[in-house]
């Protein structure tokens, strides 16, 4: 298909008109045709006919040509330079000043500021230097709406976004699929007509990321936890199986004195760094913390948590008093990266296992059979043990796992997906009509280690296995966090899970083991 911008299409139509009109008018002139005569009328009609045919060809051939819809830049020359050369040099200075990247693992997400470059550019440079030379299939930019009211989410449904550095392709297929999936996800052109919080990230991406990526521009309004989770779920489903970078656009505190702003912002960064989303939302509600992009930050915390990334790495903090303003009333800026731990499975392998578990679950529930598909990844073909947990909302719907690595990891996940939906004796088998509501969580197990001293058990890090008196039980490391247990409550709960009397973890002859798990979910 030939894609044309509207401007190019009009230029071609003008050329075609001239090509028709010029030879006909020239022929009439050299033949000295009488203006009102029969021959002149014939040539005028011929010109109109040929021109009508050309116009019809343009409008009636959508299979071979389509007008490209372009989002023109709206803050070039205001928030950043409109001249391509000057813009490129400015971004290069910010990236160079940030030095070498410090993160070795795969980077899944960034939080970066969105003020004018003279104010926040030096801080944004620290975020984008971390992805210098990295490649992504898709970059999803999630930004707050500043100028138009919005109760839901709006996704830009055009072909390209233009900046002074060139055009960036928009993943219009994914945009359309998301817009059609929910009534709270829409496309409203007015929301992009003045919005700077999304656009300012694009030139940085053009300078940092390897060419070939597409973007998905998202603007959101009301930053409720429920909406953030719903958007994270929708985005996770929509981009599954692709190498994706998520960018949350947010500035921090606004118009406080320098020292007050720095203290507030450092506290806020600590909440994000440690994945303390509930505390972050609560304190932003009471104005003890401030984020103008609280919604996007909540979304990226949700998305990172799905991939087993708990919290981020603070790369840089500064405020406008440090960059280009006075210190009496400042705006804060932070750059944060969310990376996959180096020791963990690759992000692509985690996504492959989630897709495998989903395909297995749906195939078994609908047909009673499962297709055996061997993944390309060698890491997934190595022996491994895993638990597969099914949830409906926050409620458990099934959970069965394998404790020892007796088969390939991908086979363990596939078999446990079948067992969780059909053989967990606490629940009836999953029915086809439930599938859309079920979310899958996978826990890939590390080897067991004997616990010599129960005081060494780390809540939120260690899973537990207990065996004694002919009974045994296991609890995954995320369970005590979800239940709000301290260490002693956790130890008593593993006894209860195994059907052992309270305090059995203290008794001789009862063996206690711990393990860790890579936990990730849809």
Give the DSSP letter string of 489-522: HHHHHHHHHHTPPTTGGGSTT-EEEEE-EEEEE-
The encoded tokens of residue 415 equal 């078999």
Mean of the pLDDT values across residues 62-84? 87
Residues 316 and 212 in one domain: yes
Per-residue pLDDT at 101 exceeds 80: yes
Q: How confident is residue 32, by pLDDT bands cut at 50, 70 and 90?
A: low
Give domain status of residue 296, yes or no: yes
Contact status, residue 457 vs residue 490, Cβ threshold 8 Å: yes
Mean of the pLDDT values across residues 272-290? 95
Per-residue pLDDT at 29 exceeds 60: no
Residues 297 and 386 in one domain: no
Query: Rounded CA gap, 11 and 389, in Å?
Result: 59
Instruction: Indicate the helix (H) or strand (E) that contains 41.
Output: helix 38-59
Which backbone phi and psi does 512 adopt, to 5 degrees?
-120, 130
SS3 (DSSP) at 359 = helix
Give domain status of residue 249, yes or no: no
CA geometry: angle 284, 287, 288, nearest 5 deg = 85
SS3 (DSSP) at 73 = coil
Looking at residue 18, its pLDDT comes to 55
Per-residue pLDDT at 397 exceeds 90: yes
Mean pLDDT, the chain, rounded, equals 90
Residues 194 and 51 in one domain: no
Tell me whether strands 107-112 and 244-249 are parallel, antiparallel or unpaired.
parallel
**What is the per-residue pLDDT across 164-184, written as a single tens digit (0 to 9) for each?**
999 999 999 999 999 999 999
Per-residue pLDDT at 384 exceeds 60: yes
Looking at residue 452, its pLDDT comes to 87
Give domain status of residue 331, yes or no: no
Helix, strand, coil in percent for the chain, rounding step 5: 40, 25, 35
Mean of the pLDDT values across residues 373-398? 94
Residues 275 and 144 in one domain: yes
Give domain status of residue 83, yes or no: yes
Mean of the pLDDT values across residues 119-134? 97
Percent of all residues in the chain with a pLDDT value above 90, rounded to a whole number: 80
Residues 93 and 141 in one domain: yes
Residues 277 and 368 in one domain: no
Looking at residue 1, its pLDDT comes to 46
Q: Which of 36-45, 139-148, 415-424, 462-471 has the lowest mean pLDDT?
A: 36-45
Residues 437 and 465 in one domain: no
Residues 315 and 459 in one domain: no
Residues 81 and 209 in one domain: yes
Mean of the pLDDT values across residues 30-37? 56
> Which range of residues forms the domain containing residue 19?
2-68
The better pLDDT of the pair 51, 247 is held by 247
The CA distances from residue 49 to 30, 52, 144, 351, 408, in Å, are 22, 5, 52, 58, 70
The better pLDDT of the pair 127, 28 is held by 127
The better pLDDT of the pair 158, 393 is held by 158
Looking at residue 349, its pLDDT comes to 95
Give domain status of residue 251, yes or no: no
Give domain status of residue 39, yes or no: yes
Number of domains in the chain: 4
Give domain status of residue 337, yes or no: no
- Where among 419, 443, 467 does a domain terminate? 443
Contact status, residue 15 vs residue 171, Cβ threshold 8 Å: no
Per-residue pLDDT at 341 exceeds 50: yes
pTM for the whole thing?
Answer: 0.81
Looking at residue 107, its pLDDT comes to 97
Percent of all residues in the chain with a pLDDT value above 70, rounded to a whole number: 88
Mean of the pLDDT values across residues 223-244? 92
Residues 199 and 232 in one domain: yes
Looking at residue 316, its pLDDT comes to 98
Mean of the pLDDT values across residues 236-262? 95
- Where among 409, 443, 477 does a domain terminate? 443
Residues 64 and 74 in one domain: no
Mean of the pLDDT values across residues 10-21? 55
Q: How confident is residue 12, by pLDDT bands cut at 50, 70 and 90?
A: low
What's the residue count for the chain? 522
Per-residue pLDDT at 2 exceeds 50: no
The region, left, alpha or beta by phi > 0 then psi within -120 to 50, assigned to residue 398 is left
Looking at residue 238, its pLDDT comes to 93
Residues 298 and 234 in one domain: yes
Please report, for the domain that includes residue 129, its CATH number. 3.40.830.10
Looking at residue 5, its pLDDT comes to 53
Q: How confident is residue 223, by pLDDT bands cut at 50, 70 and 90?
A: confident
Mean of the pLDDT values across residues 26-46? 58
Give domain status of residue 259, yes or no: no
- Where among 428, 443, 458 does a domain terminate? 443
Mean of the pLDDT values across residues 446-455? 92
- CB-side neighbour CA atoms (13 Å) of 518: 22
Say what angle helices 84-97 and 117-129 make with each other, to 10 degrees.
60
Please report, for the domain that includes residue 490, its CATH number. 3.30.1490.150
């Amino acid at each position: 298909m030939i894609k044309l911008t509207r401007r190019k299409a009009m230029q071609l139509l003008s050329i075609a008109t001239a090509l028709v009109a010029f030879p006909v008018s020239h022929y009439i002139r050299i033949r000295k045709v009488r203006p009102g005569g029969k021959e002149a009328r014939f040539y005028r009609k011929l010109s109109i006919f040929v021109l009508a045919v050309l116009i019809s060809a343009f409008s009636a051939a959508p299979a071979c040509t389509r007008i490209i819809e372009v989002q023109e830049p709206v803050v070039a020359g205001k928030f950043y330079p409109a001249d391509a050369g000057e813009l490129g040099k400015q971004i290069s200075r910010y990236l160079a000043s940030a030095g070498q990247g410090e993160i070795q693992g795969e980077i899944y997400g960034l939080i970066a500021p969105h003020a004018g470059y003279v104010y926040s550019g030096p801080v944004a440079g620290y975020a984008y230097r971390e992805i210098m030379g990295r490649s992504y299939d898709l970059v999803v930019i999630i930004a707050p709406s500043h100028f138009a009211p919005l109760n839901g989410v709006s996704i830009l449904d055009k072909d390209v976004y233009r900046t002074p550095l060139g055009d960036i392709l928009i993943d219009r297929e994914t945009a359309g699929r998301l817009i059609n999936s929910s009534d709270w996800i829409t496309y409203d052109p007015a929301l992009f007509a003045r919005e700077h919080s999304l656009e300012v990230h694009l030139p940085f991406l053009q300078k940092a990321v390897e060419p070939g990526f597409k973007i998905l521009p998202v603007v959101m309004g009301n930053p409720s936890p429920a909406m953030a989770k719903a958007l994270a779920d929708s985005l996770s489903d929509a981009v599954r199986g692709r190498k994706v970078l998520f960018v949350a656009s947010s500035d921090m505190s606004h118009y406080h004195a320098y020292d007050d702003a720095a203290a507030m912002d450092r506290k806020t960064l600590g909440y994000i760094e440690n994945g303390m989303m509930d505390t972050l939302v609560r304190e932003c509600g009471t104005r003890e913390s401030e984020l103008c992009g609280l919604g996007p930050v909540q979304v990226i915390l949700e998305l990172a948590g799905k991939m087993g990334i708990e919290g981020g790495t603070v790369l840089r903090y500064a405020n406008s008093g440090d960059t280009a303003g006075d210190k009496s009333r400042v705006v804060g800026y932070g750059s944060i990266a969310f990376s996959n731990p180096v020791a963990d499975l690759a992000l692509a392998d985690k996504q492959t296992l989630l897709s495998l578990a989903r395909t297995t679950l749906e195939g078994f529930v609908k047909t009673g059979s499962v297709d055996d598909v061997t993944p390309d990844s060698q890491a997934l073909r190595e022996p491994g043990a895993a638990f597969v947990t099914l949830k409906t909302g926050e409620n458990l719907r099934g959970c069965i796992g394998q404790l020892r690595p007796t088969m390939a990891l991908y086979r363990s996940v596939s078999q446990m997906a079948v067992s969780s939906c059909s053989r967990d004796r606490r629940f009836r088998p999953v029915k086809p009509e439930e599938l859309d509501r079920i979310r899958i969580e996978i826990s890939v197990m590390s080897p067991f280690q004997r616990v010599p001293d129960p005081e060494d058990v780390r809540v939120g890090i260690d899973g537990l296995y207990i065996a004694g008196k002919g009974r045994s039980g296991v609890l995954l490391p995320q369970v005590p966090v979800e239940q709000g247990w301290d260490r002693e409550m956790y130890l008593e709960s593993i006894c209860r899970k195994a059907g052992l009397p309270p305090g059995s973890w203290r008794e001789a002859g009862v063996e206690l083991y711990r393990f860790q798990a890579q936990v990730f979910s849809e």
